[in-house]
Amino acid sequence: MEGKVVLVTGASRGIGAATAERLAGMGADVVINYRDKKARAEKVAEIVRSRGQQALLAQADLTDAAAQRQMVDDVAKKFGRLDVLILNASGGMERDVPADYAMRLNRDAQTRMVDLATRIMPPGSRIVFVTSHQAHFFHSRSTIPEYESVAASKRAGEDALREREQELARRGISLVVVSGDVIEGTITATLLDRARPGLLETRRREAGHLPTVDEFADAVASAAARPEPPAEPVYVGQTA
Ligand SMILES: NC(=O)c1ccc[n+]([C@@H]2O[C@H](COP(=O)([O-])OP(=O)(O)OC[C@H]3O[C@@H](n4cnc5c(N)ncnc54)[C@H](OP(=O)(O)O)[C@@H]3O)[C@@H](O)[C@H]2O)c1
């Protein structure tokens, strides 16, 4: 990743923050997108800089098209291009969000991010879409009602990106999907377990092991860095 410029959406915490830190360790300059948590995003930027790389903090609510456009303009101004876009930010389980929020963030904002970012992505660039098994397998498996709108919207986002895959390929831009089981120690895991007490323990037992944030971030960073994009989605943790 030496000399590459990477934008990680939702990099202020969790998997996005861990991925940003890893990519900096691999030699990339990192654009750290966040929505609200500036102090946390600044800590991630400090870690990126401590690894000898440049960091750009990019506050943008991805459901706001003007904010997304401004973020891409800022990346172009500072770095002149973008080599890797990691679509990590996700949401929909927050309290008090409108009914269509999950679809606006997990589908509409993802495709718009791709349309805007690819204007500054040269041939050889890559997009990594981060998703969960519950979303990736949404069409063939049931999920708990509390996560259903998130799973449906993330799957719709993945499908919408796949529809663009050939056009992206013509421009020399590859698309990789990385899907994970429930990840230990994340807020989403806590929210799911709160909604369905015992869900985490049951899943741990079924799967034998739930991936950690570090394991998932390693897989996302390596999907970004591999010279050849994997043809199939990268699965982290048990899929069955
Ligand atoms: N957690 C799991 O068990 C799990 C399992 C499999 C896959 N995944 C996938 O991994 C990815 C990251 O999950 P996570 O658990 O690390 O998420 P998380 O802890 O909920 O973090 C979400 C990140 O996205 C940002 N964000 C939220 N809404 C945003 C918006 N409207 N605009 C811009 N940024 C926004 C947040 O920024 P602020 O902090 O500034 O609000 C935060 O940095 C997601 O795609 C998720 O589906 C997670």
Buried b (16+ CB within 10 A) or exposed e, 175-214: bbbbbbbbbbebebbeebbeeeeebbeebeeebeebbbbe
Residue-averaged pLDDT of the chain: 97
pLDDT in tens, 148-161: 999 999 999 999 99
Q: Which residues line ligand 1 (CB under 6 A)?
A: 9-16, 34-37, 61-63, 88-91, 105, 130-132, 154, 180, 182-183, 186-189
Percent of the chain with pLDDT over 70: 100
pLDDT in tens, 197-210: 999 999 999 999 99
How many angstroms is it from 64 CA to the middle of ligand 1?
16
pLDDT at site 224: 98
Averaged over 58-87, what is the pLDDT? 98
Averaged over 111-131, what is the pLDDT? 98
pTM of the model as a whole: 0.98
Residue 130 has pLDDT above 90, yes or no: yes
Domains and CATH numbers, the chain: 5-231 (3.40.50.720)
pLDDT at site 231: 87
How many angstroms is it from 4 CA to the middle of ligand 1?
23
- In this prediction, residue 211 has a pLDDT band, given cuts at 50, 70 and 90, of very high
Residue 59 has pLDDT above 90, yes or no: yes
Residue 229 has pLDDT above 90, yes or no: yes
What lies within 8 Å, CB to CB, of 50 at 6+ separation is none
Three-state SS at 29: strand
